[in-house]
Amino acid sequence: MKLAVEFPSVVYREGPDAVARLAAAMDEIGFDQLDIFDHVVMGHDTDGREKNRYPAKMPIMEAFATLGYMAACTSRIGLGTEVLVLPQRDPVLTAKQAATLDTLSGGRLRLGLGVGWQESEYEALGQNFRNRGRRMDEAIEVLRACWSQDPIDFEGEFYRVEAMAMEPKPPRGAGLPIWIGGHSEAALRRAGRRAEGWMGVASPELFESGDQAIAAVRRYAEEAGRDASALEFQAQVSPPPRPGNESDRTFYTDPDRVAAAAAKLGEMGFDGVALNLTGLFLAGARTVDAMIDGAAALHEKLRAELG
C-alpha cells in the first residue's frame, strides 16, 4: 500500500527551515507522497454565509510555491495537491505552474483537483461558483492541451486559446497524472472519465461505502472506453480533528487505531492512504521534530502491517 502524508502548513511558524526539514524527513522516512491542501482565502462566519468547515485563520500556504520549495529539499517522494480548487484559478496559468513544478521536481508531480465548496472564496477571487463543475471539466481539457499541443489551440464554452506555445512541457506531457477529489456523483464521474485516480476524503460515509465509490469510478471509466484497471485510489485515513472532539484529537496517538483504519481502506480497494500531519499537531506533536517522530512511528507501523 502506498503511504502519503498531508503537509501541515502550521510548521511555517517555526520558519522556512522547518518546512524544509519536514519535507526532507518525509522523503527519508520512505513515504511515497507528500500532498498539500489548497485554499487561497478562508471566510469568517457572517450572517447569510454558510458556516465555514475550518477555522478562518487556519494557516494554508499557497500550494505551488510551497511544493516548489519542497521539491528542492527532496529527491524521491511524490509531490501533489489534495486538492487544488481548479475552477478558482486560470487554467492556462495553472498548466504553466504545474509544468514548471513537474520539470523542476524531475517528474514527481501528481495534480489533485476539486471544485471546492466555499462560495465566499470564489467571490473573493472573482470567479463564478455556480458553474464551477462545468468549468472544471473544460479546464482539465485546457491543462492537457497546454501540456501536449504545439501550437496550443482550444475553443470551449469558457476558455479559448489560439495558436499559443508553452515551454517547457511537463516531462510526461499530457500524461502528468490528474486525480480528482470529492464524493459527489459528478466527482466520481469526472474521475472515471478524465483522471488517473480518485481521492476519498475521510468521513463516516467513506468507511461505509468507499468500495461503492470505487466501483462507480471504474464503471464511469469503462463507459468512457478507458482502462478501469489502470485507475488508482487514495483515501485519508482520518479527517482533521474537529474542535472539542476528543476521539478525533487522539486518533493519531494510537498507532493500532491508525493501522486498523488503513487496513479497512485497503480491504475496500484503496491503493494508498494519507496521514494528516495537522492531526498529529493537534494531538500534541507541537513542533516539527515531534511531527517527524510521530510520522516515522506511524510509517513503521503501517509498513509492518500493510506492506
Nearest to 101 by CA among 83, 74, 75, 79: 79
Burial 285-295 (b: 16+ CB within 10 A, else e): beebeebbebb
For residue 179, the model assigns a pLDDT of 99
**CB neighbour burial string for 14-32, b if at least 16 within 10 angstroms, e if fewer:** eeeebbbbbbbbbbebebb
Q: Rounded to 5 degrees, what are φ and ψ at 201?
A: -90, 130
- Cell numbers at residue 285, please? 506533536
Element (H, E) at 36: strand 33-36
The C-alpha cell of 129 is what? Answer: 461558483
The domains of the chain, with CATH numbers, are 2-306 (3.20.20.30)
Do 52 and 77 form a contact (C-beta atoms < 8 A)?
Answer: no
Cis peptide before 40 (omega within 30 of 0): no
Say what the pLDDT of residue 63 is: 98
CA atoms within 13 Å, Cβ hemisphere of 31: 29
**What is the DSSP code (8-state) at residue 275?**
E
pLDDT in tens, the chain (307 residues): 999 999 999 999 999 999 999 999 999 999 999 999 999 999 999 988 888 888 899 999 999 999 999 999 999 999 999 999 999 999 999 999 999 999 999 999 999 999 999 999 999 999 999 999 999 999 999 999 999 999 999 999 999 999 999 999 999 999 999 999 999 999 999 999 999 999 998 888 899 999 999 999 999 999 999 999 999 999 999 865 565 666 667 899 999 999 999 999 999 999 999 999 999 998 999 999 999 999 999 999 999 999 8
Q: What was the pLDDT predicted at 242?
A: 61
**DSSP per-residue codes, 186-223:** HHHHHHHHH-SEEEEPPSHHHHHHHHHHHHHHHHHHHH
pTM summary value? 0.96
Radius of gyration of the chain (CA): 19
Confidence at residue 247, expressed as pLDDT on a 0 to 100 scale = 66
Give dist(CA 294, CA 22) in Å, integer: 12
d(CA 185, CA 64): 28
